[in-house]
Amino acid sequence: MATKTRPETLQWLGETDGCLRLIDQTLLPLECRQIDCPDVTAVWEAIKQLRVRGAPAIGVAAAYGVCVGLQTSANADRAVFDEQLKKTTAYLASSRPTAVNLFWALERMERVGMHDAARSSAERLAALLAEARAIHEEDRAMCHAIGEHGARLLASGDSVLTHCNAGGLATAEYGTALSVFFKAHEQGKKIHVFVDETRPLLQGARLTAWELMQHGVPATLICDSMAAQVMKEGRVQAVVTGADRIAANGDTANKIGTDSLAVLARAHGIPFYIAAPTSTFDTSIQSGEQIPIEQRQAEEITCGFGKQTAPDGVAVYNPAFDVTPAEYIQALITEHGVISPVNQKTIALHLSLAGEQA
């Protein structure tokens, strides 16, 4: 597998007394450097500063973050361990407000940590690490399954467009949208990927282009504003992106610019697909209107290239996400298959079948 040519996105070193090692994605593509997070502050900082990013990878990082945060409590009494567990999960939850996988992973860790309180703190810590490893391994398997299901939607000779980074760097391995391309490529289909650079943080230029090149998949970088032109020239046959959160009705939150691509794809008669694990679905919210949009700092736009590129004091609007209405999504691709058409009923059915399989 070509992914072996680069270090893993996330790696646990040691046993219960261990440390989370991750690729510092802020340094890519110029440098592929790993950093170690020996305490929970370092994990929080890595998530906050986008050293690790992408909903599933954040979930895995947070799960290991709980282990890192609890390892000093291996000999603590039950009340102290409980308190430390709650403090740690609450702290990690404060790192990225829109990331549903973060909350999902933290709740799962908290359930395991609280479960069977008769066990010793050391046993509970071991259970937490086992759970984090399970989350990591499940994510890896999930990504491969998403790729297999999604690859069936692409024909040899197709060019596709993607936005941001829904790749192996955003997950345990392979990613969601990129897994579709990797699997199609491995199946021998001739696939070419147009990559939106994805302002302001350039995850497309820095990460997606890098991952595709590492994997040997032909890729062409464009500015976000060029997607419509590429579509108009007939250069792409599908758009595939990841997702940060999917409401019960299929409305999908993803990196700012995704909804724009969906509207443009519709106007040019090109199918628009979302690839995401079922953990991305948040059926507690009925529609995208209830998804809060994280606002980020002005400096990401005004000082984005190591150089100030806008006037001092300029007002900036910097929403990190947008919501693509379900009606613009041709299909949702999950680890259990393809949902199409996309609506509340088809999603509920898919999730209930997935639940039976699980």
Give the interface with its own copies as residue ranges (CB under 8 A): 29-30, 194, 196-200, 202, 205-206, 209-210, 213, 218-230, 232, 256-257, 259-260, 263-264, 266-267, 293, 298, 301-302, 304-319, 322
Tokens of 299: 């400096």
Rounded Cα distance between 236 and 272, Å, is 11
If one counts every other C-beta atom within 10 angstroms of the C-beta of residue 144, the result is 16
Active site residues: 244
Residue 215, helix vs strand vs coil? helix
* Of residues 301 and 348, the one with the C-beta less far from its own copies: 301
CB of 151 to its own copies, least distance (A): 22
* Of residues 27 and 126, the one with the C-beta less far from its own copies: 27
* Of residues 176 and 198, the one with the C-beta less far from its own copies: 198
* Of residues 229 and 286, the one with the C-beta less far from its own copies: 229
Phi and psi at residue 10, in whole multiples of 5°?
-135, 140
Beta strands in 224-313 (DSSP E): 238-241, 245-247, 252-255, 272-275, 281-282
Sheet holding 10-13, edge to edge: 10-13, 19-23, 34-37
CB of 235 to its own copies, least distance (A): 8
Sheet holding 245-247, edge to edge: 281-282, 245-247, 252-255, 321-324
Contact 296, 318 (CB under 8 A): yes
CB of 81 to its own copies, least distance (A): 44
Tokens of 281: 């679905």
CB of 192 to its own copies, least distance (A): 9
* Of residues 284 and 317, the one with the C-beta less far from its own copies: 317
CB of 42 to its own copies, least distance (A): 26
Q: Which of 50, 51, 71, 41 is nearest to 132 (CA)?
A: 71
User: Mind giving me the DSSP string for 85-134?
Assistant: HHHHHHHHHTS-TT-HHHHHHHHHHHHHHHSSTTS-HHHHHHHHHHHHHH
CB of 219 to its own copies, least distance (A): 7
Rounded Cα distance between 228 and 253, Å, is 21
* Of residues 79 and 314, the one with the C-beta less far from its own copies: 314
Contact 253, 285 (CB under 8 A): no
CB of 248 to its own copies, least distance (A): 20
Give 238's contacts (C-beta < 8 A, 6+ positions apart).
153, 154, 158, 160, 161, 270, 271, 272, 273
* Of residues 188 and 306, the one with the C-beta less far from its own copies: 306
Angle between helices 78-93 and 40-48 (to 10 degrees): 20
